[in-house]
Amino acid sequence: MKEAEKIISDIQSRKFSPIYLLMGEETYYIDKISDYIEKNVLSEDEKSFNQTILYGRDTSVEEIISNAKRYPMMVDYQVVIVKEAQDLVRTIDQLESYVENPQPTTILVLCYKYKSLDKRKKITKLFAEKGQVLETKKLYDNQVPAWINQSLSGTGYKIEPKAAAMLAEFLGTNLSKVSNELDKLKIILPQGTTITADHVERNIGISKDYNVFEFRNALGAKDKLKASQIARYFAQNPKDNPMPLITGQVFAFYVQLLQYHGLSDKNPKTVAALLKINPYFVKDFQTAAQNYPMRKVSSIVASLRDIDMKSKGVGGSFPAEELLKDMLIAIL
């Protein structure tokens, strides 16, 4: 996220704002910026008298203002970080008087997680006028592999498309989890390594052969034996392979396949751009399109909608084995 990286770059250059409002659904960048400020603005010796960490649940607006109005001791700045500031949702408007005239020698950081302040409110407009506001949003599933590539850029590591897809499908859109797993791989593997599916399987515990990515490909290739083997593995390991996740990923694949059929220009670059996928995976849609005409894909999508509802408990409780069998019948 460019805005987050710009804020960190400015802090590294000692260009500080008196107030940082970090808010939104995706907590990764909120933590990244607040942690960087906490660890790097002041030296360890300076922190004892000039750095205060507060928590929204255990503090009040009055206490925040009181701390923010203090003067730093023998340094240019003091730092006040309010973590879990969303717990102050009912009283945060009371910060208006301070935000209108912030202490120039204080760096006040508010970590407002999982939600955002209403942009129409006066307090939100004041934060933007007097300081820096970062609003983070959850990535879509198909954006995570690109984010993985971007986060590895400049670190001395690369990653194969299949390995990135495995991580994205296994860990979802929680960027903190994804980043933690990438950090583990960077500790284990030497710089200059291109991370492969084998590395992911050995070090993170995601099977390179029995995962949703391979299941989807087996279905697209009409490989009945492989698809049945993976489905059996899923049924035997339901905790690690929840049906809503499997159904969601397979459903997304066939919706994209429907879109692929509707494209007049099937040049791989055009397909990758319009379907928002890595060019590496275009061949999977080319293969699936040969095996499934558009009418059949429409029928599959309708069946998967029904299976998805059942996987979420609508209409009763259905065992994974039964739902997977229905899926194989509907598709193959």
Its sign, for the CA torsion 183, 185, 189, 192, is: negative
What's the pLDDT tens digit per position in 86-126?
Answer: 999 999 999 999 999 999 999 999 999 999 999 999 999 99
Q: Which residues of the chain have pLDDT under 50?
A: none
Distance CA(324)–CA(246), nearest Å, equals 9
Amino acid occupying residue 268: P
Three-state SS letters, the chain: CHHHHHHHHHHHCCCCCCEEEEEECCCHHHHHHHHHHHHHCCCHHHHHHHEEEEEHHHCCHHHHHHHHCCCCCCCCCEEEEEECHHHHCCCHHHHHHHHHCCCCCEEEEEEEECECCCCCCHHHHHHHHHCEEEEECCCCHHHHHHHHHHHHCCCCCEECHHHHHHHHHHHCCCHHHHHHHHHHHHHHCCCCCEECHHHHHHHHCCCCCCCHHHHHHHHHCCCHHHHHHHHHHHHHCCCCCCHHHHHHHHHHHHHHHHHHHHCCCCCHHHHHHHHCCCHHHHHHHHHHHHHCCHHHHHHHHHHHHHHHHHHCCCCCCCCHHHHHHHHHHHHC
CATH class, domain 16-136, is alpha beta
Look at residue 170 in the predicted model and tell me its pLDDT: 85
Instruction: Please list, in sequence order, all residues whose beta carbon lies within 8 angstroms of the beta carbon of residue 293, skipping any fewer than 6 positions away.
Output: 261
Look at residue 253 in the predicted model and tell me its pLDDT: 95
Count CA within 13 A, CB hemisphere, residue 189: 23
Distance CA(218)–CA(303), nearest Å, equals 18
Look at residue 180 in the predicted model and tell me its pLDDT: 95
Distance CA(4)–CA(135), nearest Å, equals 9
Return residue ranges of the chain for CATH 1.10.8.60.
Answer: 141-204
CATH number, domain 212-331: 1.20.272.10
Return residue ranges of the chain for CATH 1.20.272.10.
Answer: 212-331
Look at residue 279 in the predicted model and tell me its pLDDT: 86
CA 170 → CA 158, 162, 166, 295, distances in Å? 19, 12, 6, 31
CATH class, domain 141-204, is mainly alpha
Q: Strands 132-136, 19-24: parallel, antiparallel or unpaired by DSSP?
A: parallel
Distance CA(277)–CA(283), nearest Å, equals 11
Question: What's the gap between Cα 129 and its chain centre?
Answer: 28
